Chains A and B, each alone.
Chain A
Amino acid sequence: MSEFGERIEAAIPALRRYARALTRDAETADDIVQDTLVRALRSEHLFHGGDTRAWLYTILTNLNRNRLRALSRRPILAPIKDEDAATSGSESGGRDIARALDELAEDQRSALLLVVLEGLTYREVAEVQGVPIGTVMSRLSRARTQIKAYLDDERPALRRVK
């Protein structure tokens, strides 16, 4: 396998983690990871050094954004699958955080996960999302405020119909 292929392969576990948290659905997550890998392999000649991992996160983030856009155009074909949240009854903390993530706007969720789960710096997240650092920071701030409000809220959560 080429060095390029090896570097991509090394990133797969982290990509799966990010995709799972981003989509909260195991099957969708692995589909997106696969599409990301296919894209990356196809675009090897466009990759001129730099951080392979950040580049892969960028592809995955864009693919997921496109996916959500496509789903919003065809709501009937987009059953809300929440197996991740539903099957984690044993750890109530996990269940809550999954639901809380679910409530966030996509760009906020992606910014937060890239920082706290994937360990990217603010600058790297800004590059992945194609926005200034200030925008990343306000996304983080809003995400955290919203999650806190959600977790603090004692009322039974209403499932949002998207």
Chain B
Amino acid sequence: MIERDQIVSEDELNAYVDGELPADRRGVIEAWLATHPDDAAKVSAWRKQVELIRARYGALADEKPPQQLSIARLTRRRYGAMVAAAAAVVAAFLIGGVAGWIARGVEAAAPSDLTVFTADALDAYRLYVVEVRHPVEVPGDQRPHLVEWLSKRVGSPLRAPELDKMGLKLVGGRLLPGPTGATAFFMYEGPSGERFTLYCGRTSDQETALRYTAGEHNAAYYWVDQNLAYVLSGPAERDKLHDIAQAAYDQIDQRRPQQGG
């Protein structure tokens, strides 16, 4: 029976290294290691690994996190977005060219599956915003029909966000082929004729926050919410685009009962 007590398993060696071992087994393990050099070498190598990992990554926790990760900022962007966004647009019109203050620090896009989606969306944007006579298939005054039709084709309930508060009117929409099949394309127009489009199709990617990418003349914010990828494209004025994307994001986000995970 002493024999049984003294057999030391691999799990126990791990628990010993991690300080997870019940006190009454510690002595047994130490005695075992004194007479089993192979296991003692193993334990020492494992401890060395712990040191290496901590030395390599431990210091990061002492660094000040970047602005993009501030809770105040993330919270403001979620809940105060409409008010702040409207204020930013007014300020942009009044002052002209003054950088908005709520969009700074939104990170540049990391390479991801969404890249293809975003590239396609920007292509569609460039192709259709210059159209004078036929920018859309279904005009915006038929909004319910447009949304119902595109939802059916994309295979998921969609929503054309109301951006009137930002001075944008729904021009209408069309159906497009996309990386994952049928894709909905909504076009909005501002008072001076500038156009913004929302491109939206199914994806199996995980949800993301807003991400930004810019070309020479136009730019896009993109995100994933509930198995749908969205790309909001427009002229390359980052702050304004951010406000519009945030408004669209918030409306789409509120479409459903909140879910966590």
Contact = CB atoms under 8 A, between A and B. Distances in A.
Contacts of A160: none
Contact of B53 (A13, A14, A30, A116): A116
B8 interface: no
A128 interface: no
B68 interface: yes
Majority secondary structure of chain B interface residues (helix, strand, loop or mixed): helix
A115 B72 CA distance: 30
Contacts of A98: 56
A148 B53 contact: no
Contacts of A130: none
B176 interface: no
A113 to B, nearest CB: 7
A50 to B, nearest CB: 13
A14 to B, nearest CB: 5
A19 to B, nearest CB: 9
Contact of A96 (B52, B107, B204): B52
Contact of A45 (B53, B71, B208, B258): B258
Interface in B186-210: 204-209
B57 A39 contact: no
A63 B117 CA distance: 20
B144 interface: no
Contact of B69 (A34, A88, A94): A34
Nearest to A6: B71
B66 interface: yes
A13 B63 contact: yes
Nearest to A14: B61
Nearest to A25: B110
Contacts of A14: 61
Contacts, number: 157
Contacts of A37: 69, 71, 74
Given A17-B61, A98-B56, A122-B20, A63 B111 contact: no
B69 A140 contact: no
A158 interface: no
Interface string B80-123: 00000000000000000000000000010011110110000000
Nearest to B52: A97
A97 B53 contact: yes
Majority secondary structure of chain A interface residues (helix, strand, loop or mixed): helix
Interface stretch (B11-19, B135-143, B145-153): B11-19
Given A43-B258, A121-B20, A137-B11, A33 B56 contact: no
A82 interface: no
Task: Give the interface residue-count category, chain A.
Answer: 35 or more
Interface string B24-48: 0000000000000000001001100
B215 interface: no
A91 B110 CA distance: 27
**Which of B10, B54, B69, B253 is most buried by chain A, counting CB atoms within 10 A of its CB?**
B69
Nearest to B203: A70
B57 A93 contact: no
Given A27-B110, A31-B208, A138-B11, 9 more contacts: A28-B110, A34-B74, A38-B209, A39-B260, A74-B113, A93-B55, A93-B56, A122-B18, A144-B14
Interface of B: 10-11, 14-15, 18, 20, 42, 45-46, 49-50, 52-58, 60-63, 65-66, 68-72, 74-75, 78, 107, 110-113, 115-116, 204-209, 211, 253, 258-261
25 contacts: A9-B71, A12-B65, A16-B61, A17-B57, A27-B107, A30-B107, A31-B107, A34-B68, A38-B74, A38-B78, A41-B71, A66-B205, A70-B112, A70-B113, A77-B112, A93-B52, A93-B56, A100-B49, A113-B53, A116-B18, A122-B20, A137-B11, A144-B45, A144-B46, A152-B45
